[in-house]
Amino acid sequence: MMLLIDAGNTRIKLARVSGDVWPAVDELPSRQADELPQYFAGLPEIQEVWVCNVAGEAVAQHIRAGCEARCWKPRFITARSVQCGVSNGYTQPEQLGCDRWAALLAAWHLVRGACLVVNCGTATTVDALSGQGEFIGGLILPGVELMQRSLSEAAAQLSMAQGGYQPFPQDTAAAIFSGSIQASCGAIERQYALLGDDAAPVLLSGGAAGLLRPHLKLPLRVTDNLVLQGVWLIAQETKT
């Protein structure tokens, strides 16, 4: 059995995979990464551990400590120039975030054509794949919650009070929330226009996907756990 780990800035997702059978994905807040050894202790026999970590070295150390206690050897993925049918157009391929890379690999496996890969988490990433499987570039912008929090922290007159979406907001809380939604959707829609392929789908994933979905007038495919799917693909290719 294989253990896949997607350690993000907000959440750590964990999936046990046997062959191509996926059970439910477990989640743990990243701030509780020190609980991973206890989580690992309750797992059945694991032969392989594959990790995508963008949550920093402290989280990586908790993962390693928990694995070492079980005599597991975790393998941390990094972006490459070419992998699983995708070529990496980044100026320095290894500097592309491993989460973005894994999501791109999963997207190519699902679509086999041009697409936009959008992951909505602490940050929102908007990455483009060509019809030949080339990552041609992408954006990183603050996620919806981070946009709101940055305004409340930087501007004394703006609070973090939760507002609802309004096309033309008439109170401050709604103005902040709606502005965050519109900014995120505007970036996604602009990148889609630049991609120039009306048949290309937008693969939407991440914890804030539900907030953006109603406001995007694009051919959407909401896809859970793109990063974990990409990690699984990397593990499969490494075996062959």
- Residue 34 falls in the annotated catalytic set: no
Instruction: Name the percent of the chain lying above pLDDT 70.
Output: 96
According to the model, what pLDDT value does residue 109 have?
97
Banded pLDDT at 4 (limits 50, 70, 90): very high
pTM as predicted: 0.94
Q: Same structural domain for residues 215 and 119?
A: yes
**Six token digits for residue 54:** 């963008």
According to the model, what pLDDT value does residue 159 have?
64
Please indicate, yes or no, if residue 119 is contained in any of the structural domains. yes
Q: Count of alpha carbons within 13 Å of 56, Cβ hemisphere only?
A: 8
Where residue 27 sits, what CATH number does that domain have? 3.30.420.40
Give phi and psi for 107, each to the nearest 5. Answer: -65, -45
Please tell me which residue in 99, 171, 197, 198 is annotated as part of the active site: 99
Region 222-228: mean pLDDT is: 94
pLDDT above 70 (res 158): no
- CA 187/CA 165 separation, integer angstroms: 17
According to the model, what pLDDT value does residue 240 have?
59
Please indicate, yes or no, if residue 123 is contained in any of the structural domains. yes
Range of the domain at 192: 113-223
